[in-house]
Structures are given as C-alpha cells and as structure tokens.
A and B are shown apart, each in its own frame.
Chain A
Amino acid sequence: AQSVTQLDSHVSVSEGTPVLLRCNYSSSYSPSLFWYVQHPNKGLQLLLKYTSAATLVKGINGFEAEFKKSETSFHLTKPSAHMSDAAEYFCVVSDPLFSGGYNKLIFGAGTRLAVHP
C-alpha cells in the first residue's frame, strides 16, 4: 500500500531563515514523489517532482528536495524563506506500477507554512 506522512502540520519560520518540511512515504514499488503548494484560495501548483532520476531535485522558487530511499523520506527545503512562501504544502506519492499503470496521487495531510517578518 502507499501512504504519505507529513511530520509537521504547522511550521513557522522567520523571513530569511531556512525552511524544512518533512515527509516520509511508504510504497511497495518505485514511487514518484511530488511536492505541491496551495496558496489561500488558489489551486495546487507543482513545486517539484522526483521520478527516479537524480535524487536531489530542484524546483521552482528556490525549493529543493532530496529522495532518500534508505530513510523513505522526501523532505522539502529552501535556504531562505520569503513572505510569499506562506502557504500549505503537500507531499504526494504516486506509483503507477502499484495502481495499475496510472498516476493516482496519494496526498499527505499537508503542512501549513507561516513566515514571519
């Protein structure tokens, strides 16, 4: 079975400090992993994705994530937070080999990031 656990429901940082949003996954096969961001009253936007190429994935707006198979983790980081980063972040797993060849997304519960001046 597939599942995603986001370890923090809320994270609060000061502007200019690093961001770490933690995610652990469970998957039977070779998963694809994604981070999506949702700003208030906006749709989901893809930040980055891992699909079995490089384990360190760079995304938009300075975010990156590292796939660690031994730890079943896919944590999201950013060196310096900006006020505009305040949003909800979702870690997502998909495993087409498990779900019959299509990309059914399994979402984590989300982490709400607050950025203070």
Chain B
Amino acid sequence: GAGVSQSPSNKVTEKGKDVELRCDPISGHTALYWYRQSLGQGLEFLIYFQGNSAPDKSGLPSDRFSAERTGGSVSTLTIQRTQQEDSAVYLCASSLGFGVGGAYETQYFGPGTRLLVL
C-alpha cells in the first residue's frame, strides 16, 4: 500500500516568511509524529498526535512552530516568521497506534521536506 507522503519535497523561503509542511500518514494509522533532522542537532522529536489531539508538544523548539491534524489523517506543521536556524529536513512518521509492543511500535517515515531559509 501507499506509504507516508510529505509535501512539498523541497521548500526555499525567505527569512520572516511563514511555511506550511504537509504529511499524509498511512491509511489507518492513528499515531503521527513529526521529527526534524538538522546538521547540528541530528534527528529530534517535535510533536506527537494520537488521532487529532497532540498529547506531547514538548519538542517544538519555539512558539513559532505549531501543528494540527484534522480528521485523524493529514497533518500540517506550520513555521511562522522563519529563521535561518529552521533550515532542516522535516520528517513525518506514522504508526498503527498507541501502546506497547509489536506492530504498534513501528513508525514508518515519509521522505521528508527539505526546508531552506535564506
């Protein structure tokens, strides 16, 4: 079946502009995660959704970052007033759901959105 998809694949923006990054999880996956991969910080967790709610936003680096998920499916990560340090690859992952063990734990990753802030 189809995997996790993300759009756009690449985004170049000017400092101070807002950007929206989209993630389409695997159909039927109720858990959705956003991560960021940057040269200086490696791969870091940003936010987790179970259904449409986000129990853990602890990884969002500042209040310029926000995310939402509608209909238990598509998620959008929004970065307001972008800064050069926001340049990174933003990865989305989904899994079957909430819980311990087995298939629920495996997260499947999308190809990422490469963001460059000039």
Contacts and interface: CB of A to CB of B under 8 A. Distances in A.
B94 to A, nearest CB: 11
Given A43-B112, A46-B106, A51-B105, A105 B35 contact: yes
Interface stretch (B14-22, B37-45, B63-71, B76-84): B37-45
Contact of A100 (B56, B91, B93): B56
Contact of A105 (B33, B50, B99, B101): B33
A94 B105 contact: yes
Interface residues of B, number: 29
Contacts of B98: 101-102
Main SS at interface, chain A: loop
Interface of A: 32, 36, 42-46, 49, 51-52, 90, 94, 96-97, 99-110
Main SS at interface, chain B: strand
Interface of B: 4, 31, 33, 35, 42-45, 48, 50, 55-56, 91, 93, 95, 98-102, 104-112
A90 B43 contact: yes
A106 B33 CA distance: 12
A43 B91 contact: yes
Contacts of A105: 33, 35, 43, 45, 93, 107
Nearest to A99: B56
Contacts of A45: 109
Contacts of B105: 32, 49, 51, 94, 96, 103
Given A51-B105, A94-B105, A104-B48, 4 more contacts: A43-B4, A49-B106, A103-B105, A107-B42
